[in-house]
């Protein structure tokens, strides 16, 4: 699964799953663009990647902005070359009973999780089409396969990403571009810790108890890791997955089996 000579963009690459995807793609030989709204976090990951002898740049990127997406592509191409791989990873969560959910919170989650995929992919894909090659990897969730109470906005965004992926996969199949989705399960990331904290607060239990309750629902009996998800991203970015497109691949310990 070597990626020597490839250029990869990872949104939300400054922390959590995104940062681990950056490390795995760089380790396989790709030059990586660490795109994140938190530039300091992206810079920290970049420094670690460069210290290991790999190529990387950090770019501040607001996935809800078309202008930011265009600037991201321009910067990536100027510094590293044409983009071969896009990992649409940036996302947010939240926890709110539906009847208490504000329009602003709904829009925040949908804009970052779904519109962000659209705008970044729209900016990157023309170059892939021109070169007849590309790998687009979108990040959904097991919450994109089944709904859960208190996160209607999050589940809606993640279900939509699967439809978005399938549509792009069919539209660009003859252009040498694959488009796939990863559906992570229960992973201990800052985003998930925030959501679990809200659950714990709403239910009156401790954070540890809320976490253990979630983990108890995993058939394999343990949570997944950022590395588990990053390895799937590496596989889908490689030529080993050249004939796989339009799929949604669970990395969830058996939580969702359809």
User: Structural domain boundaries of the chain?
Assistant: 7-185+225-250, 188-223
Q: What is the pLDDT of residue 212?
A: 82
Point out the catalytic residue in the list 133, 154, 235, 249.
154
| Dist. CA 25–CA 207, nearest whole Å | 33
Amino acid 94: pLDDT: 84
Cα–Cα distance for residue pair 72/125, rounded to 1 Å: 13
Helix (H/G/I), strand (E/B), else coil: 46: helix
Q: How many CA atoms lie within 13 A of 166 on its CB side?
A: 7
> What is residue 210's predicted lDDT score, i.e. its pLDDT?
78
What are phi and psi for residue 130, nearest 5 degrees?
-60, -30
In whole angstroms, give the CA distance from residue 216 to residue 232: 24
Architecture of the domain delimited by 7-185+225-250: 3-Layer(aba) Sandwich (3.40)
Contact 226, 17 (CB under 8 A): yes
Output the pLDDT for position 238: 98
pLDDT at residue number 194: 67
- pLDDT value, residue 191: 66
Q: For the chain, 258 residues long, give each residue's pLDDT as a single digit of tens.
A: 799 999 999 999 999 999 999 999 999 999 999 999 999 999 999 999 999 999 999 999 999 999 999 999 999 999 999 999 999 999 998 888 899 999 999 999 999 999 999 999 999 999 999 999 999 999 999 999 999 888 999 999 999 999 999 999 999 999 999 999 999 998 877 667 666 776 777 778 887 887 788 788 899 988 899 999 999 999 999 999 999 999 999 999 999 987
Residue 88 near residue 8 (C-beta atoms within 8 A): no
Torsion sign over Cα 107, 16, 46, 134: negative
42: nearest Cα among 25, 22, 26:
22
Residue 249 a catalytic site member: no
Q: Residue 211 has what pLDDT? A: 77
């Amino acid at each position: 699964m070597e990626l020597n000579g490839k250029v990869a963009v990872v949104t939300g690459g400054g922390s959590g799953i995104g940062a681990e995807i950056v490390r795995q793609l760089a380790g396989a030989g790709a030059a990586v663009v660490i795109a994140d709204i938190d530039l300091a976090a992206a810079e920290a990951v970049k420094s670690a990647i460069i210290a290991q002898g790999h190529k990387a740049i950090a770019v501040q990127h607001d996935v809800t902005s078309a202008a930011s997406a265009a600037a991201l592509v321009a910067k990536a191409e100027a510094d590293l070359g044409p983009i071969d791989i896009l990992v649409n990873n940036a996302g947010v969560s939240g926890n709110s009973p539906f009847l208490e959910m504000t329009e602003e919170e709904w829009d925040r989650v949908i804009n970052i999780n779904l519109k962000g995929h659209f705008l970044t992919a729209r900016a990157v894909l023309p170059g892939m089409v021109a070169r007849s090659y590309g790998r687009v990897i979108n990040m959904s969730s097991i919450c994109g396969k089944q709904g859960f109470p208190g996160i209607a906005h999050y589940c809606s965004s993640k279900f939509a990403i699967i439809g978005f992926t399938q549509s792009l996969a069919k539209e660009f199949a003859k252009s040498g571009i694959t488009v796939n989705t990863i559906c992570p399960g229960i992973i201990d990331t800052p985003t998930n810790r925030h959501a679990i904290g809200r659950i714990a607060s709403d239910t009156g239990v401790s954070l540890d108890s809320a976490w253990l309750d979630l983990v108890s629902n995993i058939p394999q009996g343990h949570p997944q890791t950022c590395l588990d998800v990053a390895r799937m991203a590496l596989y889908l970015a490689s030529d080993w997955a050249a004939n796989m497109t339009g799929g949604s691949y669970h990395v969830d310990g058996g939580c969702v089996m359809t």
